[in-house]
Amino acid sequence: MTTTYTASNSLPFAALPTTNGVVQYFRATMTNSADATYAPDGLSTAPIYGLGGQLLQGDEIVAGGNVTLVSHIGPLLNGGALCWVLISCDGGAQQVANATRSQHAVTFGQISIASGAAPGDVKFSAANSVPAGWLKADGAVISRSTYSALFAAIGTTYGEGDGTSTFALPDLRGEFVRGFDDGRGIDAGRAFGSSQKGTLYPYDTTESKANGIWSASTTQNTGPASQAAMGVDPFSTTDYPTVTVGGVDATVNYALPGLAGDRGYSGVSRPRNIALLALIKH
């Protein structure tokens, strides 16, 4: 959420600055949790940028800190419109541009990439807590500006949010992850980032002894259509040279999920698994 800072000058502005280099000093009463704006003397707000040329992300301005801002009007920031550049704040994190020379300060983002994690990377953690630089992959809708690097990496693949200022994270809670087919043909027709239903498994639920052998069936009578309906993948018959398919004609059918008791039931199959925390790098 955007944090707005205000201040009153001893000689109040009649209008917002129209030139570069107008300096403002004030003591912050709150810490920014994301991007921030500044409004002097009851005038309109304008965004605050860091020295790295990006909107603030959080903790650059801290409660009780002495803040120095300077006005900027030019093509480098805010589309040429007025904005404020944070020069310093006692106790606040300082934003810098990405290092391009050996003696430059390195950003946290560059360190993360160097350590093998880039925005959009996913990992599973055995610790039920979110480390710095990561978010839960829980389908949350988040700010495009605050998490600009992640938005540049995944865009609106998992949801466009409000269509302008937010986007959605993938929701990996309770899900198994499958490699994208990408034209191989094993999982043909899948869009990148799309979800897939599970494979049905019918079973008997009689309380005493099994008195029937139940199977799931579909009205789709062609191979590919029936495979899609049942949630199974196509396969190469050469992988199963000694296997045949047999059965008996059905005498009765019940709608999913079945009637239980001695009339069968159904669920979606799964492999053995362990629950870990899914995270995405921002």
Give the pLDDT band of residue 228 (cuts 50, 70, 90): confident
What integer pLDDT is reported at residue 138 of this predicted model? 97
Q: What is the mean pLDDT of residues 153-176?
A: 96
Q: What is the mean pLDDT of residues 67-82?
A: 96
- Flag whether pLDDT at 64 surpasses 90: yes
What integer pLDDT is reported at residue 111 of this predicted model? 72
Give the pLDDT band of residue 261 (cuts 50, 70, 90): low
Let me know: does 110 contact 52? Beta carbons within 8 Å. Answer: no
What integer pLDDT is reported at residue 207 of this predicted model? 62
More confident residue, 222 or 92: 92
Cα–Cα distance, 159 to 216 (Å, whole number)? 33
What integer pLDDT is reported at residue 77 of this predicted model? 96
Give the pLDDT band of residue 202 (cuts 50, 70, 90): confident
More confident residue, 196 or 224: 196
For residue 268, the SS3 value is: strand
Q: What is the DSSP letter of 163?
A: S
DSSP line for 23-38: EEEEE-SS--SS-EEE
Phi, psi of 36 (to 5 degrees): -145, 155
- Of 144-148, 219-223, 250-254, where does mean pLDDT reach its minimum? 250-254
- Of 22-31, 142-151, 221-230, 246-255, where does mean pLDDT reach its minimum? 246-255
Q: What is the mean pLDDT of residues 166-174?
A: 97
- Paired strand residues for 58: none
Cα–Cα distance, 17 to 73 (Å, whole number)? 9
Q: What is the mean pLDDT of residues 103-121?
A: 77
Query: Model confidence over 87-107: pLDDT tens digits?
Result: 999 999 999 888 888 888 877
What integer pLDDT is reported at residue 251 of this predicted model? 72
What integer pLDDT is reported at residue 227 of this predicted model? 83
What integer pLDDT is reported at residue 248 of this predicted model? 66
Query: Model confidence over 47-58: pLDDT tens digits?
Result: 999 999 999 999
Q: What is the mean pLDDT of residues 68-84?
A: 96
Q: What is the mean pLDDT of residues 105-121?
A: 77
